[in-house]
């Protein structure tokens, strides 16, 4: 993959597709991890005298009304506090104002363009990788840099579209993501899976269970496996249509798939064989935590996707929290592979070997899917 360090960026207009899709509440950015994650690439370009044009999406934009709550203006203001150079913002995604801003940009200056998904109203020009829009955005710059791993799996105008028309390179964040996920895919690993639904993880299970040393399963998704084993799972979330799939997986890999022994319910801690018809398991219990820790000891590498319980609720945070604190102390690396588990690491203040910035893109990469935009960066 061609890295931005291979390009001569001095005096060039460099378009960088970043992922500034950050959570905003009451007009304030709740978590700026994705913005901070892009700073290495942005600062490199500034230090090498580039004119930096940033493109990003923010939130879901389906109607004109959605535009009012998904402007990147707040992100531009925050970015200006993180970099030592001027940051400008344009409310246009196309037009005279945008073109003037680009043409007036000096070296060592940044222009953040309004939300690329504003181009999805009234027609889905961004999401459908509209040819005309792709050419237009590409025409604003000399070089394109993909530094948004979270959108690398999508062929949008601001990713794949632009890369078709001007020299394209990977930013440092994308390069790090690919290296780390490739490491997790290639090395001996223990797989730790959580989250709500088996449905979302079937691709990952198919691709990684055969090559993993052990597969530890928690979160609500484990109840489909437990029901497949004949346990009464009460009112816990079960994917009925995937019970047969889980049964087959358990039969084929019975020596490596480890399921929880107990859970925290509204009535306290219960072993799985003590569940009644009304019980719901919201977190793994103390026996399971000890069992999982015992199984994880001596791992070569742990790949973790999905929380092990309803960690947002103080009553049910313990399983995910204790497991993170345990893994933080180990000598072997733990890679947090996207989704809610990365948010949990921030809530609990733990430092892992690597925390992926992708959500759906990370899952698809772990499923073994190829990304067209990344392949284009390979030259």
Assess whether pLDDT exceeds 90 at residue 343.
Answer: no
CA separation for the pair 54, 189 (Å, rounded):
37
Mapped to the 3 state alphabet, what secondary structure does 9-43 carry? CCCCEEEEECCCCCCEECCEECCCHHHHHHHHHHH
Q: How do residues 212-225 score in pLDDT, each as one tens digit?
A: 999 999 999 999 99
Say if residue 122 is preceded by a cis peptide, omega within 30 of 0: yes
Supply the pLDDT for residue 104. 98
CA separation for the pair 366, 153 (Å, rounded):
12
Q: What's the mean per-residue pLDDT of the chain? A: 96
Q: How do residues 238-274 score in pLDDT, each as one tens digit?
A: 999 999 999 999 999 999 999 999 999 999 999 999 9
E strand map for 119-258: 143-146, 168-170, 190-193, 214-217, 257-258
Backbone φ and ψ of 342, nearest 5°: -70, -35
Residue 340: band (very low, low, confident or very high) from pLDDT cuts 50, 70, 90:
confident
Query: Which residues, 6+ apart, have CB-to-CB distance to 201 below 8 Å?
Result: 193, 195, 221, 305, 306, 363
The answer to whether 301 and 191 are in contact (CB under 8 A) is no
Does 4-173 match 187-366 in CATH topology? yes
Supply the pLDDT for residue 265. 98
Task: Give the other-Cβ count within 10 Å of 161's Cβ.
Answer: 25
Fold type of domain 187-366: Rossmann fold (3.40.50)
Q: How do residues 72-128 score in pLDDT, each as one tens digit?
A: 999 999 999 999 999 999 999 999 999 999 999 999 999 999 999 999 999 999 999
Helix (H, G, I), strand (E, B) or coil at 149: helix
Q: How do residues 263-311 score in pLDDT, each as one tens digit?
A: 999 999 999 999 999 999 999 999 999 999 999 999 999 999 999 999 9
Instruction: Give the predicted TM-score (pTM) of the model.
Output: 0.91
Closest CA to 121 of 55, 63, 161: 63
Supply the pLDDT for residue 110. 98
Query: Which residues, 6+ apart, have CB-to-CB distance to 23 below 8 Å?
Result: 29, 30, 31
Q: How do residues 152-194 score in pLDDT, each as one tens digit?
A: 999 999 999 999 999 999 999 999 999 999 999 999 999 999 9
Q: How do residues 117-150 score in pLDDT, each as one tens digit?
A: 999 999 999 999 999 999 999 999 999 999 999 9
Domain ranges of the chain: 4-173, 187-366
Supply the pLDDT for residue 339. 64
Helix (H, G, I), strand (E, B) or coil at 343: helix
E strand map for 147-234: 168-170, 190-193, 214-217
Which positions are catalytic? 34, 197, 339, 360
Residue 359: band (very low, low, confident or very high) from pLDDT cuts 50, 70, 90:
confident
CATH superfamily assigned to domain 4-173: Phosphoglycerate kinase, N-terminal domain (3.40.50.1260)
Helix (H, G, I), strand (E, B) or coil at 109: strand
Task: Give the other-Cβ count within 10 Å of 346's Cβ.
Answer: 12
Supply the pLDDT for residue 213. 97
CA separation for the pair 39, 172 (Å, rounded):
9
Average pLDDT value for residue range 356-363: 88
Tokens, residue 137: 């955005």
Q: How do residues 27-76 score in pLDDT, each as one tens digit?
A: 999 889 899 999 999 999 999 999 999 999 999 999 999 999 999 999 99
CA separation for the pair 359, 101 (Å, rounded):
32
Query: Which residues, 6+ apart, have CB-to-CB distance to 15 below 8 Å?
Result: 53, 55, 137, 138, 140, 141, 143, 144, 145, 162, 166
């Amino acid at each position: 993959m061609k890295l931005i360090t291979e390009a001569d960026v001095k005096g060039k207009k460099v378009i960088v597709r970043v992922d500034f899709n950050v959570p905003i509440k009451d007009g304030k950015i709740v978590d700026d991890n994705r913005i901070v994650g892009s700073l290495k690439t942005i600062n490199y370009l500034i230090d090498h005298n580039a004119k930096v044009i940033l493109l990003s999406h923010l939130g879901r934009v389906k109607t004109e009304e959605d535009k009012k709550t998904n402007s990147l203006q707040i992100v531009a203001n925050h970015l200006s506090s993180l970099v030592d150079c001027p940051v400008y913002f344009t409310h246009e995604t196309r037009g005279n104002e945008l073109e003037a801003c680009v043409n007036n940009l000096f070296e060592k200056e940044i222009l953040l363009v309004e939300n690329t998904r504003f181009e999805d109203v009234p027609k889905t020009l961004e999401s459908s990788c509209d040819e005309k829009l792709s050419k237009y955005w590409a025409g604003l710059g000399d070089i394109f840099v993909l530094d948004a791993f979270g959108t690398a799996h999508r062929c949008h105008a601001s990713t794949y579209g632009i890369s078709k028309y001007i020299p394209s390179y990977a930013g440092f964040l994308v390069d790090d993501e690919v290296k780390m996920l490739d490491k997790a895919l290639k090395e001996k690993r223990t797989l730790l899976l959580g989250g709500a639904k088996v449905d979302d993880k079937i691709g990952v299970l198919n691709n990684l269970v055969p090559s993993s040393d052990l597969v530890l399963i928690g979160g609500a998704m484990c109840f489909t496996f437990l029901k497949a084993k004949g346990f009464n799972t009460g009112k816990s979330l079960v994917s009925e249509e995937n019970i047969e799939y889980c049964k087959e997986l358990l039969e084929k890999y019975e020596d490596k798939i480890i399921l929880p022994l107990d859970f925290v319910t509204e009535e306290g801690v219960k072993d799985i064989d003590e569940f009644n018809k009304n019980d719901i398991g919201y977190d793994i219990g103390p026996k399971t935590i000890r069992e999982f820790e015992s199984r994880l000891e001596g791992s070569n590498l742990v790949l973790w996707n999905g929380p092990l319980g309803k960690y947002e609720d103080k009553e049910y945070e313990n399983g995910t929290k204790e497991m993170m604190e345990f893994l933080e102390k180990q000598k072997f690396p733990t890679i947090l592979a996207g989704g809610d588990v990365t948010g949990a690491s921030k809530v609990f203040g733990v430092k892992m070997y690597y925390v992926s910035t992708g959500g759906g893109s990370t899952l698809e990469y772990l499923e073994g899917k190829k990304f067209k935009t990344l392949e284009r960066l390979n030259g």
